[in-house]
Structure 1
Amino acid sequence: MAYSAMAVANALVKRAKEGKVAHLSPMKLQKLLFYVQSWHLAKQGRPLIDDFFCRWKYGPVIPSLYHEFKEYGPNPITAYGGHIVEEEGALTKRRPIVSEQDTRTWELIDEILAEYGAYSGSTLSTMTHEKDSAWSTSGGVDGNPIPNDMLREATLRDGRFKARGAA
């Protein structure tokens, strides 16, 4: 089952609120989500997030999440993101999150945080630009989506993924 990008982003915000990832800036959030999606594709063969990362100057970005969290700039995110929906004539803000019963997804999130969580957003951005990464091999900085098959293939080649015994 694929989650909305906001639900998985909020799972990372939850881990930050619990003290399990330091300084979760918008850039760091985007890059951690990129690794969550990439590793899920490599392990499960299907996307976890129902959206696509686009090729932006500082690496892969889900535009809707950029706009939701950009107000934080380089600072840590302090609140969950959400969507405004209309229910019974009233506007309500929903804050989706990964189900607590979905232990497989939470384990993957924790695995990504163990591997990448100590890095800053700018360091993670640099890492996403490395030779043979999905961002670098999918085209130039043009805002277009990076195909999920490219995320999967690049992850299967990645030494970090292989070193964790995930391949």
Structure 2
Amino acid sequence: MAYSANAVANAFIDRAAQGKIPDLTPMKVQKLLFYTQSWFLKLYGGRPLIDDSFARWRHGPVITSLYHELKNYGYQSVTSKLTRAVPSPEGNGVRLITPDVDPNDKMAIDLIDRIAEVYGKYSGTQLSAMTHAEGTAWSLRGGDGSIIALEEMANNIHPAQPT
């Protein structure tokens, strides 16, 4: 099952609130989602976990809609889960929902936990540098604004450590 970018971002926001990820800035959220999507594609036969596309921005891969959701945080840590307004079932207004990853989705939860463990210790700037390394999906065309193809993400994950 593919999830919204907000649902997967909320999984990382939860882990940050639990003290498992330090300094979860908007840039760091974006890069954690990028690594989550890339590894999910690679491990599970090209099926996406996130139902949105990453664009090649100057500072690395970005989901544009998520950028706009988080930009008010600037360089500060993201502290609140993302919500969205939906029509009320009674038809008399709207209600807020908080998208989440299904806690029974073992593949998704296990990978999110592993990404948090492996990549969560790095800053957003360090993760950005990792996405820029030669041979990565982002580096194939640089920050030209183009969409990064799922095949590029699955086949061009660079294991380099940040400098």
Q: Which runs of 4+ in 1 moved over 4 A?
A: none
Could you tell me how far apart the structure 2 residues matched to 1:118 and 1:149 are? 27
1:159 deviates by: 3.9
Deviation at 1:89, TM superposition (A): 2.8
Matched, 1:30 2:33: no
Matches within 5 A, 1:8-87: 8-45=8-45, 46-87=47-88
Question: What is the CA-CA distance between 1:142 and the residue it aligns to?
Answer: 2.6
Q: Distance in 2 between matches of 1:5 and 1:80?
A: 12
Q: Using structure 1 for the length normalisation, give the TM-score.
A: 0.90
Identity among equivalent positions (%) equals: 48
2:93 — aligned with what? 90
Give the Cα–Cα distance (whole angstroms) in 2 for the partners of residues 130 and 106 of structure 1. 27
**Higher deviation after alignment, 70-79 or 139-148:** 139-148
Give the secondary structure class of the aligned counterpart of 1:64. Answer: helix
- In the other structure, the counterpart of 1:133 is 136
Secondary structure at the residue paired with 1:105?
Answer: helix
Whole-angstrom CA distance in 2 between matches of 1:74 and 1:49: 24
- The C-alpha deviation readout for 1:60-118, integer Å capped at 9, x for no partner, is 00011111111111111010112221222312221101011112211101111111111
SS of match in other structure, 1:149: helix
How many angstroms does 1:122 deviate by? 0.4
- Please give the TM-score of this superposition, normalised by the length of structure 2: 0.92
Give, in whole Å, the separation in 2 of the partners of 1:93 and 1:135: 34
RMSD of aligned Cα (Å): 1.2
Q: Contact 2:20–2:117 at 8 Å: present in 1 too?
A: no
SS at match of 2:156: helix
Question: Equivalents in 2 of 1:6, 1:57: separation in Å?
Answer: 22
